[in-house]
Chain A
Amino acid sequence: MDLTQKLINAGEDAVDEMLTGIMAAHGSHLWRPENAPRAVIARDGPRKGKVGLIIGGGSGHEPTFLGFVGKGLADAAAIGNVFASPPPQPVVDAAMAVDGGEGVLFMYGNYAGDVMNFDMAAEMLELEGIEARTVLTTDDIASAPREARATRRGVAGNVFIFKAAGAAADKGLSLDEVERVARHANDRTYTMGVALSACSLPHTRRPNFQLAAGEMEIGMGIHGEPGVRRGPLQSANAVADEIMDAILAEMAARAGDEVAVLVNSLGSTPLMELYILYARVAERLGEAGLNIHTSLVGPYCTSMEMAGASITVMHLDSELKQMLDHPCDCAMFQVR
């Protein structure tokens, strides 16, 4: 089979070379401690008396995770290999760098590897006298039935969930309160995606799954984990309808409620297609009597060059609205 085409040097250097580039481009926002090249820290934000928010996970989802490090959002990100959890050490390094004496909160998508590594990091931090708590994101409604919500994966909804928790921490709330806001945000965030083509790892440069010409897969995960249904490629409106049917059924919102919406590219799907999807999403939300308070359209949580998109809806209340509106200044995401 032909190798996929990528603009890389050696595959095994891809993550570190990306980080070198990010530091060169965004050094005004980000820094890395000496001897901790996989811990990316916000220049502004971490401070004494503030709960530290540490996010992280595998590479390949940029701008998730490191793009959301900055004042008002996450204090640091721990960076893993492509699609692989970081080991405990960069998580510990990040926590030590941002600890303001009020404890730290770990937030990341619910994947077995991430849970083991971050839990080991929490055990190591306990020995250093730093309290670390964890809120897993579980917004991918295609990954498990509603009654098994806690086992679902965390995907693009991360951006809203991290944003809410980051704002809570920036406002100076206690660890208990930041954790509560984070859980509340996760409970009210719903995502579902569709994949149109595979991505490939820099090391192997082989597609990580096979999708025949003319096919799509609804519910596919952001690492190419098989989804809920494979079938012929349908129109943007039909795909948006299938996803919105599932989200609206689960969200059970009332007319007049407000929502935040993210139409996210999985990598190679262009803005043109995202806005076509967005038009239908807005129409469906309007029909349901829901008001859109926040809109994001673009690549927020990608799967390298995978084609496809995901739709996220966060069911707002006054608290979450306030948290999303709180200013933040990250290398790849700003709210003013």
Chain B
Amino acid sequence: MDFTAKDLQSLLEELAQVMAAERDNLCALDGEIGDADHGIAMEQGMAAAASAARDLAEDLQDCSLQDLFNAAAKGFLNAVGASSGPLYATAFMRAGKQVGPATSIAADDLRFVIVAMADGITHRGKAETGQKTMIDAWRPAADIAAAGGTSTEVLAAAEAGAASTRDMVATLGRAARLGDRSLGHPDPGAVSATMIIKAICTRF
């Protein structure tokens, strides 16, 4: 089974819908340990990413997966700023670099897209696992993906990682200022990361 430029567009459209639907839940999670805007950033960012990819596909016949990922990166970044803007823009650009100027890849290669996105987020945000950030979902998912795990296993790793942030004390990002008071609340960035990983995992 192949993953085509059209499939990437539909993935981005789905992510925009998921983030719109989950916006208030993500904001409420962020309100516990941050400034309550994570859902808004993810909704705006994914909507802009999907729309930028849609515009590109209309203007440019046979645009490559990399073109679409780069358009999504720019769209997300310029719509959002915040923390998620640079992190997901870098993730999308790395994903684009990973797939290259192809118009389709084998669906199973989406595992390497997950790895590339996790690496991009790590590069930009300088986070390590255990600091109660989105990387607590991305890193375990990427490790399982790189090791050849099934999409079900990759998603399970992301979900377990996100759940584990509940028992972590934040040491990076805004919640780091809370100290022990961040305990007992999952990291909203790890929760939204799991939604993205889930959408990718249904495609391989």
Q: Which residues of A are at the interface with B, using a C-beta cutoff of 8 A?
A: 12, 58, 80-89, 111-113, 116-117, 120, 143-144, 151, 153, 201, 203-204, 206, 208-209, 221, 223-226
Contact = CB atoms under 8 A, between A and B. Distances in A.
Interface stretch (B28-36, B54-62, B95-103, B156-164): B28-36
9 contacts: A81-B44, A83-B37, A84-B80, A85-B82, A112-B125, A116-B125, A117-B86, A204-B24, A223-B174
A310 to B, nearest CB: 15
B29 to A, nearest CB: 12
**From DSSP, what is the main secondary structure of chain B's interface residues?**
helix
B174 A112 contact: yes
A116 B81 CA distance: 9
A120 B89 CA distance: 11
B177 A221 contact: yes
Contacts of A204: 24, 27, 36, 39-40
Contacts of B124: 116
Contact of B31 (A58, A84, A89, A209): A209
Interface string B74-93: 00011111111111000000
A88 B181 CA distance: 32
A225 B36 contact: no
B35 A208 contact: yes
A85 B35 contact: no
B172 interface: yes
B41 interface: yes
Given A112-B174, A208-B31, A226-B178, A85 B36 contact: no
A87 B77 contact: yes
Contact of B178 (A12, A85, A111, A225): A225
B36 to A, nearest CB: 4
Interface in B121-155: 124-125
A82 B37 contact: yes
Contacts of B40: 81-82, 84, 201, 203-204
B173 interface: yes
B27 to A, nearest CB: 5
Interface in B1-56: 24, 27-28, 31, 33-37, 39-41, 44
Nearest to A142: B177
A153 B82 contact: no
Contacts of B36: 201, 204, 206, 208-209, 224
Nearest to B181: A226
Contacts of A206: 24, 27-28, 31, 36
Nearest to B76: A87
B82 A225 contact: no
Contacts of B125: 112, 116
Given A87-B85, A209-B31, 11 more contacts: A81-B41, A81-B82, A87-B77, A87-B78, A88-B77, A88-B86, A112-B83, A208-B36, A223-B37, A224-B36, A225-B178
Contact of A144 (B33, B172, B177): B177
A83 to B, nearest CB: 5
A153 B31 CA distance: 18
Contacts of B34: 223, 225
A206 B125 CA distance: 29
Contacts of A83: 35, 37
A112 B81 CA distance: 11
A84 B41 contact: yes
Contacts of B178: 225-226
Contacts of A221: 35, 174, 177
A201 B27 contact: yes
A312 B126 CA distance: 32
